[in-house]
Amino acid sequence: MKGAKNSTIRIDKEIDKYKDGNVYDATSYSGEDWGTKIEIDEISKVKIKDLQKYGIPERSVNSFKKKAENMSDNDVVDLIKFHVL
């Protein structure tokens, strides 16, 4: 997974699901196992409108907002930073 992203955004039922320092199997949003493990480095509670301040590209934020129906710019998400083991 060289060159892969090192962060992900979690909403709704996935907020608080992951914990700092824990190791997880990397999977796609549909649940497909990628055969890779990741370790969580940091989890931040961030308002959707502030994601760009944390290095999330505007294009990604706009795409996320389209998918996140019924969420406002002031809703809080988990911004998870991780590294591949």
Using the predicted structure, report yes or no on whether residue 27 has a pLDDT greater than 90: no
Measure CA 40 to chain center: 11
For residue 77, is it within any domain?
Answer: yes
Supply the pLDDT for residue 3: 54
**Cα–Cα distance, 26 to 75 (Å, whole number):** 26
Q: Is the pTM of this model over 0.85?
A: no
What tens digit of pLDDT does each residue of 34-80 get? 999 999 999 999 999 999 898 888 888 887 777 777 788 898 999 99
How many structural domains comprise the chain? 1
- What range does the domain containing 34 cover? 7-84
For residue 23, is it within any domain?
Answer: yes
For residue 2, is it within any domain?
Answer: no
How confident is the model over 19-24, as a mean pLDDT? 96
Position 84 confidence tier, pLDDT thresholds 50, 70, 90: very high
For residue 25, is it within any domain?
Answer: yes
Taking alpha carbons only, the member of 17, 85, 80 closest to residue 45 is 80
Determine the number of helices (DSSP H) and then strands (DSSP E) in the chain. Answer: 1, 4
**Cα–Cα distance, 7 to 1 (Å, whole number):** 13
For residue 1, is it within any domain?
Answer: no
How confident is the model over 25-32, as a mean pLDDT? 84
What is the H or E stretch that residue 81 is in? strand 76-84
For residue 59, is it within any domain?
Answer: yes
